[in-house]
């Protein structure tokens, strides 16, 4: 056997060993699908020099206007672009909200398990390998589909989620937002040998140390930073929930905001959403913890406006993560730029009052508007002709997110405004807090142990080793659901 062939074979064997844990539950038989493009999904060749040896697939709805957003969606190990297209739900919202989706695909020629190289500096850093190939796909979409370069987003599952975080760090000037599902912090592992350890428990770094990994990925860049959504199942034993905590610490630090959420609410599928606002009060980082879910992308099959996807291997029935991710990025507001002739976004959207069941908002008038479209959590709820509205029938003590778009005389909605979050009053008793050692928290029934570590009941946040030397403050809200509140416990 020639030495060059032997070296390639040894690299593939080493890669398989390093990623054995990540792909242990992503079996090729269950997760892989034929590489042939599904109906509507088209393979694109000649998109660039392609240093990462990736394949490009794309879905572009018919009649899409110029300057529409672009989403890049990265599959997990042993999966294909076709699997992600078929099961994730992105085509549904591309059709209804108006944007293109690019589905990069890696193969066994790159990695024995078809994993993106989130652990390899030759593949996941600026100007290198697979990361550079993905950015070339973005450039192709801008030139051939007319995609808006200011509204490019990237999302991925598992190894694709790890690559997503790396892309956000290496190319914050390309991606306006990202969504990491069951994935890893940016630059969590920088070698094949470190990959498995990162999956089961990333290094116990401070938020600043995690943030430094992002800042080092593109030295000298000072913002704006991408908005980041983080999806994680509490029963994921392939990529452990500690990675979601590290991702939150990493990106809140990059944004210069604390690790205490600005608001927390409950969504379908036993999902808890925690929102971390920037200095202007707009969501910068959001975490979605899906209680009891294992390793995979949460979907919610059905025809409802907030449902999407198909259950399959590692597409798990819980909640339509694609819908909530799209709303977080602002894709639901019409998806058009004022340069295409549509009306600009209303400014000055603000909350003027709340009760237990109502939320009142106002905004600045837009010249040429015949009416306005008011969206609550991505769904249109009203069409006022004035510049204020009171939304009714809400639930006490619940956070809602609103955007507003101006509508012209033909009924065409313009660009959606910046999102504002409203929390109705009331809704239960104040949160209770306890400060104690990990041993005492377990003994009191507020946490439990697994593999020598302690996890908060409900949130499943990793509290560290099971001993009397580590102390945490736990906040309970709602009853039976505990979160770490070391930085301060407020109701």
Nearest-CA neighbor of 124 among 112, 143, 111? Answer: 111
User: 227 and 120 share a domain?
Assistant: yes
Identify whether 327 is part of a domain.
yes
Cβ pair 35, 80 in contact under 8 A: yes
> Which residue is listed with tokens 């990333």?
202
Query: Among the options 15, 147, 158, 417, which is catalytic?
Result: 158
Phi, psi of 139 (to 5 degrees): -65, -40
User: 251 and 315 share a domain?
Assistant: yes
Identify whether 261 is part of a domain.
yes
**CB half-sphere exposure, 238, CA atoms < 13 A:** 25
Identify whether 377 is part of a domain.
yes
Identify whether 451 is part of a domain.
yes
For residues 381 and 230, give the distance between their C-alpha atoms in angstroms, rounded to a whole number. Answer: 27
User: 93 and 221 share a domain?
Assistant: yes
Tokens in use for 440? 């005492």
User: 280 and 354 share a domain?
Assistant: no
Identify whether 440 is part of a domain.
yes
User: What are the CB-based long-range contacts (under 8 Å, 24+) for 276-283?
Assistant: 276/248, 276/252, 277/421, 281/420, 281/421, 282/418, 282/419, 282/420, 283/227, 283/328, 283/401, 283/419, 283/421
Phi, psi of 375 (to 5 degrees): -110, 130
Residue ending a domain, choose from 333, 361, 396: 333
Residue ending a domain, choose from 406, 423, 440: 423
User: 156 and 251 share a domain?
Assistant: yes
Identify whether 184 is part of a domain.
yes
Q: What is the dihedral of CA 248, 254, 256, 257, to 10 degrees?
A: -10
User: 477 and 367 share a domain?
Assistant: no
pLDDT, tens digit only, all 491 positions of the chain = 443 333 333 344 344 444 554 554 443 333 333 333 334 899 999 999 999 999 999 999 988 888 899 999 999 999 999 999 999 999 999 999 999 999 999 989 999 999 999 999 999 999 999 999 999 999 999 999 999 999 999 999 999 999 999 999 999 999 999 999 999 999 999 988 898 889 998 888 999 999 999 999 999 998 899 999 999 999 999 999 999 999 999 999 999 999 999 999 999 999 999 999 988 888 999 999 999 999 999 999 999 989 999 999 999 999 999 999 999 999 986 333 334 456 877 878 888 888 989 999 998 888 889 999 998 876 789 999 999 999 999 988 888 888 888 898 888 887 777 677 788 887 655 678 889 999 888 888 898 887 778 888 878 888 988 887 889 999 887 777 788 888 777 65
For residues 170 and 218, give the distance between their C-alpha atoms in angstroms, rounded to a whole number. Answer: 5
CATH classification at residue 84: 3.40.50.1820
User: 295 and 369 share a domain?
Assistant: no
User: 58 and 178 share a domain?
Assistant: yes
Residue 23: other Cβ atoms inside 10 A: 22
Domain count, the chain: 3
For residues 304 and 317, give the distance between their C-alpha atoms in angstroms, rounded to a whole number. Answer: 14
For residues 482 and 458, give the distance between their C-alpha atoms in angstroms, rounded to a whole number. Answer: 6
For residues 134 and 157, give the distance between their C-alpha atoms in angstroms, rounded to a whole number. Answer: 15
158 carries an active-site annotation: yes
Residue ending a domain, choose from 402, 423, 444: 423
Nearest-CA neighbor of 54 among 121, 122, 103? Answer: 103
Identify whether 4 is part of a domain.
no
**Distances, alpha carbon 207 to alpha carbons 136, 258, 259, 273, in Å:** 31, 9, 8, 20
User: 325 and 376 share a domain?
Assistant: no
User: 230 and 377 share a domain?
Assistant: no
Identify whether 491 is part of a domain.
no
User: 437 and 412 share a domain?
Assistant: no
Question: Which range marks the domain in which residue 460 is found?
Answer: 432-484
User: 295 and 391 share a domain?
Assistant: no
């Amino acid at each position: 056997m020639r030495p060059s062939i032997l070296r390639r074979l040894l690299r593939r064997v080493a890669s398989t060993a390093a990623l054995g844990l990540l792909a242990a539950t992503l079996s090729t038989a269950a997760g892989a699908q034929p590489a042939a493009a599904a109906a509507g999904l088209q393979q694109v060749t000649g998109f660039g020099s392609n240093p990462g040896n990736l394949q490009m697939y794309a879905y572009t709805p018919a009649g899409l206007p110029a300057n529409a957003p672009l989403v890049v969606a990265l599959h997990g190990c042993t999966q294909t672009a076709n699997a992600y297209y078929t099961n994730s739900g992105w085509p549904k919202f591309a059709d209804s909200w108006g944007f293109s989706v690019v589905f990069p695909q890696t193969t066994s020629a790159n990695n024995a398990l078809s994993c993106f190289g989130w652990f390899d500096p030759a593949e996941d850093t600026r100007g290198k390998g697979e990361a550079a190939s993905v950015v070339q796909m973005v450039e192709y979409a801008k030139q051939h589909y007319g995609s808006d370069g200011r509204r490019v987003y990237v999302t991925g599952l598992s190894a694709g989620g790890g690559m997503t975080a790396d892309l956000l760090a290496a190319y914050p000037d390309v991606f306006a937002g990202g969504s990491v599902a069951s994935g890893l912090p940016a630059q969590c592992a920088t070698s094949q040998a470190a990959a498995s350890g990162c999956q089961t428990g990333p290094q116990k770094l401070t938020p600043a140390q995690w943030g430094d990994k992002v800042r080092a990925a593109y030295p000298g860049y000072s913002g704006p930073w991408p908005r980041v959504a983080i999806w994680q199942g509490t029963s994921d034993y392939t990529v452990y929930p500690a990675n979601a905590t590290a991702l939150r610490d990493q990106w809140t630090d990059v944004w210069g905001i604390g690790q205490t959420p600005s608001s927390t609410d409950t969504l379908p599928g036993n999902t808890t959403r925690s929102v971390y606002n920037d200095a202007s009060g707009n969501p910068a980082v959001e975490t979605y913890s899906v209680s009891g879910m294992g390793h995979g992308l949460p979907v919610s099959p059905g025809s409802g406006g907030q449902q999407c996807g198909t259950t399959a291997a590692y597409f798990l029935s819980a909640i339509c993560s694609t819908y909530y991710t799209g709303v977080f990025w602002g894709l639901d507001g019409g998806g058009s730029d004022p340069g295409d002739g549509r009306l600009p976004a209303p400014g000055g959207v603000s909350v003027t009052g709340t009760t237990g069941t109502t939320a009142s908002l106002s905004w600045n008038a837009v010249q040429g508007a015949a009416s306005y479209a008011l969206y609550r959590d991505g769904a249109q709820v009203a069409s006022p002709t004035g510049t204020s509205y009171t939304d009714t029938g809400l639930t006490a003590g619940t956070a809602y997110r609103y955007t507003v778009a101006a509508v012209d005389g033909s009924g065409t909605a313009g660009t959606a405004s910046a999102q504002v979050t409203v929390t109705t009053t009331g809704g239960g008793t104040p949160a209770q807090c306890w400060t104690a050692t990990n041993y005492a928290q377990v003994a009191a029934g507020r946490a439990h142990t697994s593999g020598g570590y302690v996890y908060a009941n409900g949130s499943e946040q990793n509290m560290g080793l099971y001993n009397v030397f580590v102390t945490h403050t736990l906040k309970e809200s709602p009853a039976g659901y505990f979160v770490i509140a070391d930085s301060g416990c407020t109701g």
